[in-house]
Structure formats: C-alpha cells, structure tokens
Structure 1
Amino acid sequence: MASNTTQKTVPKQESETSSDMPPINEVTLRKLAENLPNWEQVASYLKITNIRVGRLKAECPGNIDEQIFQMLHIWYRRFNLAANRHQMGEELIDALKQVDGTEDLIACYLSGNMK
C-alpha cells in the first residue's frame, strides 16, 4: 500500500510545478519579439530551421520584430498542440539561457511581467 501512496504523490507534485510556469500567449510572444537579441540563435535552439528563418526574413522584409514574432509563433503552435505549459516554458527558458543578453527577458518572463 505504501507504494501506491508514493505514486499518487508524484503526479501531484508535477502538476504543482507546471502551475508555477507563467503562461505563454501572443502577448508574451510580442514582448519577447520586441526585446530579443540574437533571435536567429534563439530560433536554432527552438529547432526552427535556417530555411524557415530565411523565409520569415523574406516574408517580413525590414520588420525584424515581426520576423521574431512569427518565428516564436511557429514554435508556440508546435507546443500549443501538446498543451504542456511547463514543458513549453522550460524549452523557452533553456533556449534563452543559451544566448547572451537574455537574462532580463528570462527574469521578466518568470516573474509574469510579460504584459
């Protein structure tokens, strides 16, 4: 019986952790797009191909914020199908940590101030 009690406790802890992750929505993506340095490097960490990045540049010439937003939106749609907010937030944070100059964005996102 003790093993059943332990098994019930683990999923509860996981769900509590996922509720700690701030939501990611289009407003969050816009704010990231306005402030994201080295967006092509972030794109590679989010598994957006160089070919797709090139297409975004061609589709939105001269509008870097929109290029970044569209890149993030591609990533967001991929995750939104899985509906796993915690995993989505973790991947975003992991990608941002790989790029210099994103510490403030990470802190802002984690604090829920991406409004």
Structure 2
Amino acid sequence: MSDWEFVKDRTAAQGAVWRSADGRLYKRTGGEDLQAETEFQQLIAELGYPVPEIIDSGSEDGSYFAIERAIGGASLHEEALVDARRDGQVGCQTIRRTAASSSKLLQAQARHTCRPADDREAEAS
C-alpha cells in the first residue's frame, strides 16, 4: 500500500479505505461483502445511477479490493453540515449540486422501472 494513503477503516464492514497520492482514486479493501457491493455498484453505474466509477477490482493478499474514481472532496451531506454550521442554512451551491444528483437518480429510476413484488408474485401464481 505504499502508493496509497490510509483514510479510515470501513465503517460498515471489515477492511479499509485508501486514497491515491494524487487524490483521484480511492481503494477499498474487504471481503466477500465488498465484492458483492462492487458488483452491484458496477451494475447500477451501467444503468445510469450516479455512483463512483469502479476502474479496477480483484483479489490481492488474501482480500478483495475495489478502486474507484474520486467524485469530490466531501459528500453532499458533509457540505450541507458545513453550510449549516456557518450560518444555519444550506447554501445555494450545495442545494444545486444535490438537486443535480437527485435528478440523475430519478432519471435512472424512471428508465429502469420495476413492477412491485406483489404484481410479480400474483403473475407467478
């Protein structure tokens, strides 16, 4: 991991998060849960959902890894908290970025509608 700077232990699972020296990539390490998460992330990216691009993944030193492109220095949640601490309001730029991300999410959902499980179960009967 000499090319990578440790960021933090993963919060929801075993493993860690690392950042490349230039800050453009993140490397997550873990086990089977990370592999399943990576496969799901690649699937929804192909469907147009706004998620970081996975550029490499595989096994290394007995664990699984995924490398993804960085999408910014702070999450929208973190930006909103900074705004609110400053003057008690979420700033216009944070709201615009959140709306743009939400728009991409809603467009992807609209393109890939899925009937409710109850409808599919009724057809199978």
Q: Same fold (TM over 0.5)?
A: no
The TM-score range, normalised by the shorter chain, is under 0.3
Task: Give the TM-score normalised by the residue count of structure 2.
Answer: 0.25
Which structure: larger Rg?
2
Structure with the higher fraction of residues in helix conformation: 1
Greater RCO, CA 8 A, separation 6+: 1
Task: Give the TM-score normalised by the residue count of structure 1.
Answer: 0.26
